[in-house]
Each structure stands twice: as C-alpha cells, then as structure tokens.
Amino acid sequence: MLDAAKEIAHVLGEDAVSFDADVLEHHGHSDWSTSNSSERAVAVVYPRSTDDVVRIAQICHERRVPMVPFGAGSSVEGNFSQPHSGICIDFAYMDKVIAFHPDDMDVVVQPGVNWVDLNSRIAHAGLFAPLDPSPTATIGGMVSTNCSGTNAMRYGTMKDWVLNLTVVLADGTIIKTRRRPRKNSAGYNLTSLFVGAEGTLGIVTEVTLKLAPIPQDTSVAVVAFPSIGDAAAAASKLIRSGIQLAALEMMDEAQMRLLNQHGSETVRKRHWAEQPTLFLKFSGTTDAIKSDASRASSIIKPFSGGSKFHFARSKQDEHDLWAARKEALFTMVSTRPPGTEIWSTDVAVPVSRLPEIIELSKAECGQLGIFASVIGHVGDGNFHVAMLYDPSNAEQKQAVARCVHNMMDRALEMEGTVSGEHAIGIGKKECLVDELGEDTIELMRTLKLAMDPKWVMNPGKVFDLKTHAKREG
C-alpha cells in the first residue's frame, strides 16, 4: 500500500499525497457517527483531473490496493471509512464547475463541488440544485449516497437529478454513462447503477445535474402538538392532502428543549414550545402559498390541541423559523456531554405507517434514560432517531443497539427500508440482507465482481465478498 502511495506521489507530484497522521485521522473518522472503523488509510491522495484519477486507479488496481473516495466526510454510516486501509482519494481540488447550461437547465461539475457553493454560483440564472444534505457535502459524495434532505418531499432524491456521470472504473477505464438530454431511454441505465453505490463500483469524476427553477416565493409555518402521535398523524394527513409542500419536517420535544437551551442567537429569539413540532415549508407563487397555508392550517387543527399555527410574517421570520430545523443536528452534536457518542440512524416507511413507527420507536428509545430524540423528513416517510450514549458503558451501548435494530425490524415489517437517505456504509450491511434477501445481494455481488474483480473499490461497504473463491486470481 505504501509503495502504491509512493508511486502515486512520483506520478502526480509529492504535494498530491499526504501521509500526515492528522490528515489520515480526519479522513478516517466521523464524530457524527457510531459506524467508525479503527483502520486508517496509509495515505490521502488529491487528484486534480479525471486523468489523475485514472493514474491512481491503475496503480492501485495493479497492486490490489483498496481505493476509498472521500468528498466532505459528512456521511454517517461509515461510508468513507477504511476498514481495509488502502488509499483515500480526496476530491478537494476537483471542485470546478465545468459547464453551466442555463437554457438547458443543467450544470456539469467535478465531484468536489460543494452544493451550497454551487447554488450560490448559479442563483443569478434563477436555478438551483434541490438536494440539501449536510451544508458541507460535495456533489460526488451526494451522488454516491443517493442523498436527499428536507427538499425531498417536493423534489425527490439525488437519483432524480443526475443526467450522466463520468466514472473511472477500478482498472482505470473511463466511461460516460449517458449524454445530456433530460429524457433518455438508450440502453441500460448505468447512471443509476453508480448513484448510491458508495464508490464501490467506480470513482465519479464528472456529474451532469439537472437544475430546478428557484420558486418565486417561499414561506414557513411551525406548529406544536400535544404528542408525537398527533404530530405524525397530522403529517400523514398533510402528505395525502395534495398540498404541494416543499418540506415537512418533525422535531420532538427533546430537540425543541435543546434549541431553547443551546440554540444559536437566531434560534433563541423566541421561546419554543417544548412539544413535538412540525415545520412546514411552502413554495410557489405568493398567492398559492397563502392558500396552501390556510388549507394546511385547517388540516392540522384537529390534531394540534389548540396550538397556534405560526405562519412566518416576514422573510426574517421565515429565516429564523427554518434555522431552528437546520441547526438541530449541529446543536445536538456540539452540546453533547463529554465522552458520549451519537448513534443516529434513519429509516423510511410507506407514509400511512409513519405515525405508528414513530410512536413505537420514540416510546422504546425514551425508556433508555439517555438523551434520545426523533427528528426527520416526515414528508416522505423518512425519520431519524438520535441517541447520545456512553461507549464505555457496555450495557448502555447494547441497549441502544437493540433499540436501533428493533426500529429497523419494525420498518421492514412495514415494508419500509433500513436507510432512507444515509446509504449502507459499514453500519447497515446486515440490515440490507434482511431488507433485500440473499438472492438480491448475490446479484449485486455479481455486478460488483464483474466491474471490480479484485474488490479494490471501497471494500467492506454495502455488502461483503462472501466467497473468496470468486475472486480473480
């Protein structure tokens, strides 16, 4: 592995490779996740072009060295960890917008482009990319986890926005999955094969993204509920109402309490009711938003126990209300007691089962006697449970693990999924088998072996190589 890193340094230049222990640590561990590996890459390499990536792949393939792509490291299932060590490929210098086609409503970017940055660079043309995971995330990582975020209720997930990809395969071959039209039924949909593949099938070096028009207007409303069940039931009714909500988010009473105690200055401008709360985002024309808000308020009324439907009165008010939702995770992580770790996980179920699974999961994790909260993108049946636990307390850790596994089992019993948006990484491999069954995993394994016979592309993620007999050589 070290020889491979030295050869890469020889070919790409010494400054394209880092062996620094702090750099390796930063690229191998996430504070946001429980799914970490103790192994680290031997080096981090920094390509600047598709050709550089080809050289890296050729060297690693030849020497059978694992290659682990790295965007911003914001994924939370150990997706970028290096359980088999190897070379970590960081796209920090592949951060260029290659071509912007406002008339076609698309943009071609390198994988290291940050989505917030991209949106501010193209806003002048009235367009945006509507995926919103961690504000630090990059397009390459977002494609590879099939990410989404609060906007998914209205705009769907990453898979709906990728027109084509340029990918460097394990042996250094460059392929382009499709051309640029919005519509395309030519051949196998290889674009979708790579979206959500977590870098296990190839390295994405260019992405053409569809763009959406920035809505003429937006607004936000917030409403508190007597119980999590009432909030989930109201959410379920809203989803089925046909109102074109841009987002529908839920935070439980534990999260709301945290905002009152530790939220930013913006968030603490108001005192939040410490009750389960729904955040609604509207978008469209100003008149349509008013009418949608009024309908939403009537739908919610029977569930809210008389709580006020707080509709933003100004743009500042809208910003401040939404900031509470956007800052929630950061507030939780930055104020956690020393020594504790966060176990955060997401599942998604058909929307009619949402109230039931949220109530059951909340009740179970509420009994653990630790900070535990439900937060999520309930608008598309997706929610997260986050728990802060002491990793040195084996009993507590086991109880938290049991709680998480029970939630997964419950989601599967309801025909849901063990991962609505965080992908599988190392954290959910066993659950994926429960979800899809061995035969489906075996087909994935066959595809992976066809594309990466030496099993060097981000090994140890999504599923394991079961039979070594199948390996080449």
Residues at the contact surface with ligand FAD, assessed by CB under 6 A? 32, 68-76, 79-80, 91, 111, 133-134, 137-138, 140-142, 144-145, 147-149, 198-199, 203-204, 329-330, 421-422, 458
- Give the CA-trace dihedral at 285, 288, 289, 291, to 10 degrees: 160
Which residue's CB is nearer to ligand FAD, number 167 or number 211?
167
Which residue's CB is nearer to ligand FAD, number 73 or number 459?
73
In the complex, what is the shortest distance from the CB of residue 156 to ligand FAD, in angstroms, rounded to a whole number?
A: 12
In the complex, what is the shortest distance from the CB of residue 94 to ligand FAD, in angstroms, rounded to a whole number?
A: 8
CA atoms within 13 A on the CB side of 197: 25
Which residue's CB is nearer to ligand FAD, number 157 or number 307?
157
In the complex, what is the shortest distance from the CB of residue 459 to ligand FAD, in angstroms, rounded to a whole number?
A: 11
SS3 assignment for 437-471: CHHHHHHHHHHHHHHCCCCCECCCCCCCCCCHHHC
**Closest residue to bound ligand FAD by CB:** 141
Rounded CA separation 456/57 (Å)? 9
Which residue's CB is nearer to ligand FAD, number 68 or number 414?
68
Strand, helix or coil at 211?
Answer: coil
In the complex, what is the shortest distance from the CB of residue 287 to ligand FAD, in angstroms, rounded to a whole number?
A: 30
Q: Which residue in 80, 84, 41 sits closest to 460, CA to CA?
A: 84
Which residue's CB is nearer to ligand FAD, number 205 or number 361?
205
In the complex, what is the shortest distance from the CB of residue 423 to ligand FAD, in angstroms, rounded to a whole number?
A: 7
In the complex, what is the shortest distance from the CB of residue 66 to ligand FAD, in angstroms, rounded to a whole number?
A: 11
Beta bridge partners of 372: 387
Q: Which residues, other chains included, contact 173 with Cβ-Cβ below 8 Å and sequence gap of 6+?
A: none
User: Residue-wise over 36-57: b if at least 16 C-beta within 10 A, else e?
Assistant: bbeebbbbbbbbbebebbbbbb
Angle at 80 between CA 446 and CA 13, to 5 degrees: 105
Which residue's CB is nearer to ligand FAD, number 422 or number 429?
422
DSSP 14-66: GGGEE--HHHHHHTT--TT-S---S---SEEE---SHHHHHHHHHHHHHHT--
Rounded CA separation 282/280 (Å)? 7
Which residue's CB is nearer to ligand FAD, number 34 or number 75?
75
In the complex, what is the shortest distance from the CB of residue 384 to ligand FAD, in angstroms, rounded to a whole number?
A: 9
User: Residue-wise over 427-466: b if at least 16 C-beta within 10 A, else e?
Assistant: bbbebbeebbeeeebeebbeebeebbebbbbbbbbbbeee
Rounded CA separation 171/192 (Å)? 21
Which residue's CB is nearer to ligand FAD, number 283 or number 344?
344
Which residue's CB is nearer to ligand FAD, number 144 or number 177?
144
**φ, ψ for residue 106, nearest 5 deg:** -145, 165
In the complex, what is the shortest distance from the CB of residue 112 to ligand FAD, in angstroms, rounded to a whole number?
A: 8
Which residue's CB is nearer to ligand FAD, number 79 or number 191?
79
In the complex, what is the shortest distance from the CB of residue 393 to ligand FAD, in angstroms, rounded to a whole number?
A: 24
Angle at 21 between CA 15 and CA 26, to 5 degrees: 90
In the complex, what is the shortest distance from the CB of residue 168 to ligand FAD, in angstroms, rounded to a whole number?
A: 9
Match 């607004």 to its residue by tokens: 219
In the complex, what is the shortest distance from the CB of residue 86 to ligand FAD, in angstroms, rounded to a whole number?
A: 11
The Cβ of residue 305 has, within 10 Å, a number of other Cβ atoms equal to 12
Structure tokens that stand for 26 in this block:
């930063």
Which residue's CB is nearer to ligand FAD, number 138 or number 361?
138
